[in-house]
Structure formats: C-alpha cells, structure tokens
Chain A
Amino acid sequence: MSGTTRGNSERALTDSGEAVTVHGNSEISLTGDCSAVTVLGISGSPHRHGNTETLLEAFLDGARDAGAEVEKVVIKTLIYRSCQGCNACHKDGECILTDDFNTLLERILTVDVLALASPIYSMGITADLKSLIDRAQPYWARKFVLKTLYFDYDHIQSHKGLFISTAGQSWDHVFDGAFPVVNAFFSDMGFEYYDNVIANKMDEYGGIKGHPSALDDAFAKGQKVVRVVEKIRNR
C-alpha cells in the first residue's frame, strides 16, 4: 500500500456541518426525472483486465447500452491507505486520512448504481477492495454513532448495489465469505444490495471468455438495472 497521500478530498455532504438527510427521488417523480442513470463500477482486482475486470466491463457495457452514464474506477490506480482503526470518525464523522479514497467514497454517494467488483482471494474479497470498504467507517459512524446521516426508504430503493466477482474454484460456497462484507458496505452507503454478477469455475473454463454465459448475463444485468432504476424514478 502506498504511503503517499493527496489532499484532494471533497466533502460536499458535510460542509455545512449539519445533519444531512439524503432524500430519494419521490419529489421529482411528479414530473419524471429525465437525467441519465449514473453507474459507477469499482474494480478491486489488482490484476488489470483479468476475469473480474472483464466481467465488470460487460456489465458496464450493458448499462451504457441502456442509456446510463457509466464510469469505471480501478482501485489499483489510486493512492490510498487502509483504515487506521483510530475511531476519530466516531467523534466527527470525518476520516483523518486524506487520499483518493475520500474522493471515491463521496463519489459513491452521488451515483444511482454501484457495481463492486473483486475476484475471490482466499474465500473473500481482495485486500484492495477490503481497504476501500474498511475506509467507509466514517459513514457507519455518521449513521449509527452521530446519527447525522440517514437514507430513507425511497433513496435505498432507487440506489442499487451489485457485487461482481469471479473465482477459480468450482465450490458453490466460494462467494459466501464475500457476501456479508459487501452487504455491510452497501448498507452503510445507502444502496440496496440488488444482485450478484458472479461466475466460479474460472480455472475449469480457462478464464471468463471460456465461460458459456457469464459475459452475456453481465451485459443483460447491466441493461436491466438501469431500466429498473428508471422505472422506480418515474413511479
């Protein structure tokens, strides 16, 4: 992990220092929300353009095809440190570290769909993605300790989180260690844990491109989630 930090974080949500409620789209649904659905894909794989990132790309292509505004962030290209466990955020909701993860976490709060991608390493997500998730502790603190952050039902319904993953093993339970971690993160950040885009047996298939259906399924799920969010907005 790089020890270098960069002081470029944005704190749009907390500049006022007041209690922040993130509202859903219920107010604007009267006229219909015409802005494009925004989709953020985060790759936690250290292996560039490998199975997991390729699967994420297919998902993002599907979302783009359905008219979404799509962005991909690769954790490996960022400068960050892991959570220091200092609990300073329990006092003021702010992280003492300032690096690319502050910016990324704030960005996550602005998108409609969040796709978290990680291969399975030792029955869990990679240390890279776990670093990002551990750094979300300030949001947990704002919700449960300081009670300054609250996501209402409409917000959670209209913000969808997907977990995208590949594993070499053929075991059915190979993703089971990752699910609760991802679930906790989506919950902290105001997203409904909507679906998984997962494919195991990568070793058997010789990689994601050898898988009979995974890339097509990912594309279709990318299209579908955009339509679902649009439908909820216009309800």
Chain B
Amino acid sequence: MVIHVLAFATSPRRHGNSETLLDYLLEAMAEEREVAITRHVLGEDIVINPCRGCNACEKLGRCIQTDDDLNDVLEEIVEADCVVLASPIFCMGLCAQAKALVDRAQVFRSRKYVRHEPVVPPHRKEKRIGIFVSTAGQKWDIVFDGAVMSMDCFFHVSDIKKRNMRWLMIDGVDQKGAIEAHPTAKDQAREMGAGVIRELKELKGEV
C-alpha cells in the first residue's frame, strides 16, 4: 500500500531555508519504496486566502470561499497519511501565508466539534503523522513557541494525534542558503523523513 505524503511550502521566499529543509525531508521520503508525494507551494501551485470568520462552515461543513483552492486542499489533507507544513518564523510566529491555511482548517474544527462528524474515518486516526518544518533567523529559546501552538491546533483538528506530531525546527538560519551550511540540518531532515515513512508503514500494518 502506498504512503501518501502531502507537503506545503508556505514561505513567500522561493527556495529559501524552510523550503530547502522541506526538500531534504521529502528527498529522503522519496527514496523509500511505495511513497507518493504531493508538494504544494502556496501562492504558486495553490492559492489560500485568509479565513473570513463567517462561521458558515459550522452550518455547511465546508468553506463558502470558492475562489481559491481550500476545499480541494482540505480533502487532500483528509486523504494523506502524512501532512507536512513548512513555514519560516516571521516576527515570532508562522508567516501570514501559513497562518491563512492554518486558520482555514477551521472547517475541520466545525466538522469535529459543531457537526460531530469525523474528519478522517476512525480507523485512520491513529495512523497519520504531521510534521512541522521551520527555520528561524533568531536563536532565542522561545522563537518557535507561538508557531508550535498554532501547528498543534492545525494537526489536532486534522485528526493527527499529539504523539504523531513531529517537529523539525532549525534556528539561527537567516540569510538565503544558510540552511545548506548548517552542520546537522540536512541529516536531521533526512533521518526524520526516512523514520516517519518507516513508522507509517508500521502503523498501517505493513512491516
């Protein structure tokens, strides 16, 4: 059975540090057998507008905004075994582009807590992994804290268990290309990529 990986590169800077770190991870995943990767670049492959706060998803179970790709993307998130989101830290939080996608996952929250509908079928809940990939220029201890809280919400409403959330976060990389000179980032990313695929195969009962 194929492992489906869905990845979002959300940084407005193309091929910058967070996207490169994501690529290290995905390359290692792609080297494993039977892995299908879908990789979206926000603003290029897909457009995601901010949430309008209208709460219509509580009534409809989907978003009323039809001029962007959100509703299709939500279904892809439901189908995926592994959801990866890469964002740089801007001003102590996710970049606004990533936050727009995270806010729009309100549809899942509405399905789950208002409409009492499953987001994914019960038998798949335990078998999904979420990975947050991030880079920050600063080296402060707390630089990822705000982003992690929002990502925890995003994965939670996407029916990804806390124990199945993975965090690949590298600080102190600011200039474009700095990630390539980082002593351990590439190895960490590759190790996590291969490890997560192995874990998913175990979770899905294939090993």
Which residues of A does B touch, CB under 8 Å?
1, 45-47, 50, 82-87, 119, 121-128, 130-131, 133-134, 136-137, 140, 176-181, 183-185, 188
Contact = CB atoms under 8 A, between A and B. Distances in A.
B50 A124 contact: no
Given A85-B11, A122-B105, A130 B149 contact: no
18 contacts: A45-B53, A46-B54, A47-B53, A47-B55, A50-B53, A82-B96, A85-B95, A121-B102, A122-B99, A124-B93, A124-B99, A126-B53, A127-B50, A130-B93, A134-B90, A137-B90, A140-B91, A180-B146
A82 B142 CA distance: 24
Contacts of B52: 46-47
Contacts of B103: 121-122, 126-127
B150 A124 contact: yes
Q: What's the dominant secondary structure at chain A's contact region?
A: loop
Interface string B39-59: 000000000011111110000
Contact of B91 (A87, A122, A126, A136): A136
Interface residues of B, number: 36
A47 B53 CA distance: 5
A180 B96 contact: no
Contacts of A178: 146
Nearest to B12: A85
B176 to A, nearest CB: 8
A233 B23 CA distance: 54
Interface of B: 11-13, 16, 49-55, 88, 90-97, 99-100, 102-103, 105-106, 142, 145-147, 149-150, 152-154, 176
Contact of B96 (A46, A127, A140, A185): A127
Contacts of B105: 122
A130 B94 contact: yes
A181 B93 contact: yes
Given A47-B54, A123-B149, A85 B96 contact: no
